[in-house]
Amino acid sequence: MSGFGYRDDALTVDGVRLDTLAEAYGTPLYVYAGAEIRRRYLSLLAAFSEPAPEVFYALKANPTLGVVALLAREGAGADVVSVGELERALVAGVPPERIVFAGVGKSRYEIDRALEVGILQFNVEAIEELRVIAAAAAAAGVEAPVALRLNPDVAASTHDKITTGRRDDKFGIAGDRLDEALDAVTALGALRLVGLHCHIGSQVTALDDFERAYLRMAEFWRHCRERGFRPRRLNLGGGMGVRYVDEAELDLDAFASMVRRVTADLDAMLGFEPGRFLVAAAGRLVSRVIRIKSGSHGRCFVVLDAGMNTLLRPALYDAVHRLVPVVRQRDAASIVADVVGPICESSDVFLRNATLPPLVDNDLVALTDVGAYGATMAADYNSRGRPGEVLVDTGVVTLLKPPVGWIELAANETIPEHLVPGADREQPRDR
């Protein structure tokens, strides 16, 4: 399920045709299905039954305010990694006491702001960071709630660039330094240990990877108790994998059963920070075919108006997103082609040698499962602008973010006065 489907051969979401949205808002265009985001959030809670875990939506997956607000209305907290994401979560209606602040590079300014609004906890990545948080808390006259992010040294079965729980990754405090971290919490003052935290990576579908990490976290938890600490919250991270093409999506019921078994004797309040799992399948990127280009040796290219500036994941992670027609042509033959964008890079390729629906110039197509790490990674490269974003929820269409063209991109730029076109200039000198 994704919230998207065909009606009379037109791709729709909640009864709204995507070709109608493209005509109204232009292409490329991100379209999100509100019902699918809501369904996935509730399915995660239902898998655990009572007591339900705390869920902190990882804004890095999709920080668009309308998406965050939808999840906040359902009761989700927020996992943020910058002061910008913190402010977005607050504006979208997430209470500060439902926000956890993660990330390896929190600045003093970000720490001060988080203390000022009263967040639930800092997920602390280093002993050196503990010192900075303690100093900030002491200066503010408050006690900072901290959870130690521990590195369980588990290599998740996922892409190398999104694996975060190995010994040599930059994330977390090494397990063999746990005692040093606990000593620092005691010695520094102005800190309150409220929990432990781990995160082994993104797009993880192997249950065994999670279990190995969580067993290690259970050992760390027991050690903290033996040391006399009483952490309350065990945040087990996110990373639940989804199906893009033919992957086996994580079995939520089996996942929840494993977590309950591993943590049964810990007396811990469980927390998770899913991002991709909640929003990836709820997004489609609508794009228009600029032209069908023939190459040598019978090769064919479908050139879209969306490129790596619009959706970076294929160029960055070798990710694959399926392509479907916005309006199906049932009687025409399929084609085999590379699907590419207009950007001046050889890495600007979405699909290679793919069997595609019949397409001609100006057709509308949609790239699937782009709700996570899609629009948020869009860039200004080639001055092509950034796509608009639309949410369809309960039949209501909302333009969450308008498209940004080159005029908007250049609006805050300045040309030095002496270089303004038409200004007097010194003539080039002869050598």
Q: Which residues are catalytic?
A: 344
Q: Which helix (H) or strand (E) element contains residue 233? A: strand 233-235
Beta bridge partners of 193: 146
The tokens for 34 are 């509100």
Tokens 């994941």 -> residue: 313
Q: What are phi and psi of 63, to 5 degrees?
A: -90, 5
Q: Alpha-carbon distance 119 to 26, whole Å?
A: 39
Q: How many angstroms separate the most distant Cα atoms in the chain? A: 84
Report DSSP letters for 67-79, one per residue: HHHHHHHHT-EEE
Residues 6+ apart with CB under 8 A from 149: 102, 123, 124, 125, 171, 172, 173, 196, 197, 198, 199
How does DSSP assign 306-356, residue by residue? --TTT--HHHHH-----EEESB--TTSPPEEEEEE-SSSSTT-EEEEEEEE
